[in-house]
Amino acid sequence: MAIKSYTIRLFILLVIICVTNICIAQELRCNVTVNSDQIQGTNKSVFNTLEQTLSEYINSTTWTDLTFADTERIECNMMLIVKAVSPEGLFTCEWQIQSRRPVYQTTYSTPVLNLKDDHFIFTYQEFDRIEFQPNQFTNNLSALIAYYCYLIIGLDMDTYSRLGGTPYFQICENIVQSAQSSSLDKTELTGWKAFESNRNRYALINNLMDETFRKYREYVYEYHRLGLDEMADNVANGRVRIASGIGILREVNRARPATYAINTFINAKADELVNIFQKGTSEEKKTVYELLMDIDPTRQATYDKINQ
């Protein structure tokens, strides 16, 4: 009887663990690094604390009302490169982000985002808490982190369903608007302002929410779900699907030259596209090479590998 009772309790415990794992797992599994090599001095305590705080905040926050199994969490890396810190605690940094998602029936993960923000500026004192309120601007660091977390989630969702990332891009848009109307000084406001640059946070989310970019976002879905995910069953068909849509990138890029959204896609996908089409037909190689050179001539050395 005692053995039976123990077995039942063990079974119940295992069920609870499994259900908990399924229901409360957060959306992101992020490796966070704070690099302070450029800062003079031996006291690194504030940077170590910041790294731990960022990691806990990003990985433990439930960003959406969706249910993610632990195995479904979005894999990403974030590196904060600290360039300067003022006596008042103003951090001037570079923010590097990469995210990826698995390809169906393979061990391969495809890059979705590879982005660098050169104007990641915020005020922070050691042990400050980072809290994000969806309808309230609290401070620049929490807004910056939330913006990029929702960007990662939105881009990931776009790869699984047509325009699936829209609700999360809308949150990014709200964060931008809140930052613009906040009392941030000119330095911390850098990156949020409209028309300040065609490659800042405002410009990127403005691209993604613009109807002009609808075809581009639909191609992101086709690239992943109808291209990469189909390659496990038929490599040639998947490659054809990817090739057939690259013209959309050129079309959108010509309508809005040097747009940040297209640049962000190419930054993530350039090497992958080369690897895919090195094994393509002669016609595929010729077509894709010409399109990519039209969109992104600065990477000629990379795209030349398609024809090698």
Buried b / exposed e across 260-289, counting CB within 10 Å, b at 16+?
Answer: bbbbbbbbbbbeebbebbeebeeebbebbb
At residue 52, φ and ψ (nearest 5 deg) are: -65, -40
- Give residue-wise pLDDT tens across range 14-30: 444 444 444 456 899 99
Strands 74-85 and 28-35: parallel
- Pick out the chain residues at pLDDT < 50: 1-23
User: Can you read off the two tokens belonging to residue 243?
Assistant: 């090739």
Domain ranges of the chain: 1-172, 210-308
- Give residue-wise pLDDT tens across range 163-208: 999 999 999 999 999 999 999 999 999 999 998 999 999 999 999 9
CA 176 to chain centre: 17
CB-based contact 252:262 (threshold 8 Å): yes
